Amino acid sequence: MCRITPRRRIEPRVHSTPRPLADGRTPAGREYLDIKKLPGIVGGAALHPAETATTVRVQDGQTLVTDGPFADTKEIFAGFYLLEADDLDQATEIAARIPAARIGGSVEIRPVVADQS
Question: How confident is the model at residue 71, as a pLDDT?
Answer: 65
Which residues, including other chains, have CB under 8 Å from residue 116's CB and lie 6 or more apart?
none
pLDDT per position as a tens digit, 105-114:
888 888 888 7
pLDDT per position as a tens digit, 48-77:
887 888 888 899 999 999 887 666 666 677
> Is 33 buried (19+), middle (13-18) or exposed (0-12) by CB count in 10 A?
exposed
Q: Which of 80-84, 94-98, 103-107 has the lowest mean pLDDT?
A: 103-107
pLDDT per position as a tens digit, 4-54:
555 544 443 434 455 555 666 677 778 888 888 888 888 888 888 878 888
